[in-house]
């Protein structure tokens, strides 16, 4: 999987939180509440990156044995599901596709990448690890790694938009052309994102989990509202959305395990810790677990649990220390590609991210925790 380098577009200017020497990520900001105008502008501004991401995903799907002739029907089905469940997001997606000079089905395909991978049982290894602490004073402490295919690092994108009055401003980390992934809104709600795998996954294309994350960020202010939104969608792929909130006095959190077999809510333990990797924690859903043999998810979870008290420290750099574990330590929380493997098996921690729900900001390091230092963080 090779392509010409895709140059970054835009990016926040250097400021007091981020020295000019720190690498930026491509960024899109919009204050336009109209989804069609916003989508068209996004497509025109980032069209070359969106087209490159669609090409990269077509290559990935082919490598994991998704038949090329199935991609258009999958994309069209995803588009129909989005239009039925979230028409305003479908309108934005259609406008983005037009602005990027890309067929709508192809952009819908990109947004449904988790669902398409599930149709062939392409279960993930080297995926994400999330840790939350709500047991101290003030806002929750949160951090996660985002692990994905090394060749898709170019697609990393930051967005900030306001969906309309009286909707909150939403800040997200996502991939070029995808509606959302990890994010926060200024109502004090944030979303972390980890993939899961269940035996009932892959029966067609339902509402993409990335679209569910976007709707939660635009419409929810509480964990309960986020759960209701997740339950309202027909899904065909499993994911856990760890939702954290802070209203200025009280912190709350839950991992919402979304699956074709049902939706489960996992709460923090008695000390306020909520940890998640890539296996189900709900006992009923865990009966249908479909993680590959030898997957690292349980080892990573055990590492987070053993070192969880680092997350209670008031210094965010200590939270990063929680994630500084590699395969040689027995838990590849910080993931690096292995020589000799084909690209679809090459995983890297492409982002380390913390959500500050008190100030409605994301704090992001464009790489794994082992390379993070106090001056390598971007604040969105």
The verdict on residue 6 lying in a domain is no
Identify whether the C-beta of residue 211 lies closer than 8 Å to the C-beta of residue 85.
Answer: yes
End of a domain among 98, 119, 140? Answer: 119
Domain of residue 78, residue span: 27-119
Q: What is the DSSP letter of 124?
A: -
Number of separate domains in the chain = 2
- Determine the Cα–Cα distance for residues 2 and 176; give it in Å rounded to an integer: 17
The verdict on residue 35 lying in a domain is yes
Instruction: Verify that 112 and 144 share a domain, yes or no.
Output: no
Distance (Å) of CA 181 to CA 20, 82, 282, 307: 26, 16, 22, 26
CATH number where 298 lies: 3.60.60.10
Instruction: Verify that 145 and 280 share a domain, yes or no.
Output: yes
Instruction: Verify that 134 and 196 share a domain, yes or no.
Output: yes
**CA atoms lying within 13 Å on the CB side of residue 322:** 32
End of a domain among 69, 95, 119? Answer: 119
Instruction: Verify that 135 and 114 share a domain, yes or no.
Output: no
Which residues have a Cβ under 8 Å from the Cβ of 35 and sit 6 or more positions away? 88, 89, 91, 92, 95, 163
The verdict on residue 5 lying in a domain is no
Instruction: Verify that 69 and 139 share a domain, yes or no.
Output: no
Q: What is the DSSP letter of 111?
A: H
Instruction: Verify that 142 and 31 share a domain, yes or no.
Output: no
The verdict on residue 125 lying in a domain is no
Instruction: Verify that 105 and 197 share a domain, yes or no.
Output: no
End of a domain among 93, 119, 145? Answer: 119
What pLDDT score was predicted for residue 83? 98
- What six digits make up the tokens of 217? 């960020």
- What six digits make up the tokens of 378? 């971007």
The verdict on residue 16 lying in a domain is no
What pLDDT score was predicted for residue 20? 32
Q: Provide the residue-wise pLDDT of the chain in tens; the chain has 380 residues.
A: 433 333 333 333 333 333 333 458 999 999 999 999 999 999 999 999 999 999 999 999 999 999 999 999 999 999 999 999 999 999 999 999 999 999 999 999 999 999 999 999 876 566 799 999 999 999 999 999 999 988 899 999 999 999 877 779 999 999 999 999 999 999 999 999 999 999 999 999 999 999 999 999 999 999 999 999 999 999 999 999 999 999 999 999 999 999 999 999 999 999 999 999 999 999 999 999 998 878 899 999 999 999 999 999 999 999 999 999 998 999 999 999 877 777 777 779 999 999 999 999 999 999 999 999 999 999 99
CB neighbourhood size of 165 (10 A): 6
- Determine the Cα–Cα distance for residues 247 and 257; give it in Å rounded to an integer: 23
Instruction: Verify that 271 and 249 share a domain, yes or no.
Output: yes
Instruction: Verify that 151 and 102 share a domain, yes or no.
Output: no
CATH number where 32 lies: 1.10.10
For every residue of 320-334, DSSP letters joined together read HHHT---GGGT--SS
């Amino acid at each position: 999987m090779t392509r010409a380098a895709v140059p970054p577009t835009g990016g926040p200017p250097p400021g007091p939180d981020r020295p000019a020497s720190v690498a930026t990520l491509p960024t899109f900001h919009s204050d336009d509440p109209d989804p069609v105008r916003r989508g068209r502008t996004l497509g025109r501004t980032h069209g070359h990156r969106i087209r490159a991401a669609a090409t990269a995903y077509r290559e990935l799907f082919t490598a994991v044995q998704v038949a090329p002739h199935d991609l258009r029907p999958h994309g069209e089905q995803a588009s129909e599901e989005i239009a039925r469940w979230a028409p305003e997001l479908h309108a934005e997606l259609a406008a983005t596709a037009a602005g990027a000079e890309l067929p709508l089905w192809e952009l819908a395909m990109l947004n449904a990448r988790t669902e398409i991978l599930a149709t062939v049982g392409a279960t993930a290894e080297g995926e994400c690890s999330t840790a939350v602490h709500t047991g101290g004073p003030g806002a929750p402490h949160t951090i996660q790694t985002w692990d994905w295919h090394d060749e898709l690092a170019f697609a990393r994108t930051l967005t900030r938009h306001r969906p309309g009055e009286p909707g909150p401003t939403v800040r997200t980390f996502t991939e070029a052309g995808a509606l959302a992934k990890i994010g926060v809104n200024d109502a004090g709600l944030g979303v972390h994102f980890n993939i899961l795998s269940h035996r009932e996954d892959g029966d067609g294309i339902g509402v993409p989990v990335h679209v569910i994350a976007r709707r939660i960020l635009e419409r929810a202010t509480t964990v309960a509202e986020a759960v209701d939104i997740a339950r309202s969608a027909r899904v065909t792929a499993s994911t856990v959305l760890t939702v954290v909130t802070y209203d200025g006095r009280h912190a709350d959190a839950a991992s919402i395990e979304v699956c074709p077999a049902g939706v489960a809510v996992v709460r923090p333990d008695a000390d306020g810790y909520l940890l998640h990797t890539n296996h189900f924690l709900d006992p009923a859903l865990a009966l249908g677990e479909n993680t590959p043999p030898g997957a690292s998810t349980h080892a990573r979870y055990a590492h987070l649990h053993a070192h969880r008290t680092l997350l209670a420290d008031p210094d965010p750099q200590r939270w990063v220390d929680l994630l500084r574990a590699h395969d040689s330590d027995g838990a590849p929380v910080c993931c690096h590609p292995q020589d000799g493997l084909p690209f679809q098996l090459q995983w890297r921690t492409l982002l380390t991210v913390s959500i500050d729900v008190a100030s409605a900001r994301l704090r992001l390091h464009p790489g794994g925790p082992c390379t993070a230092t106090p001056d390598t963080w971007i604040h969105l």
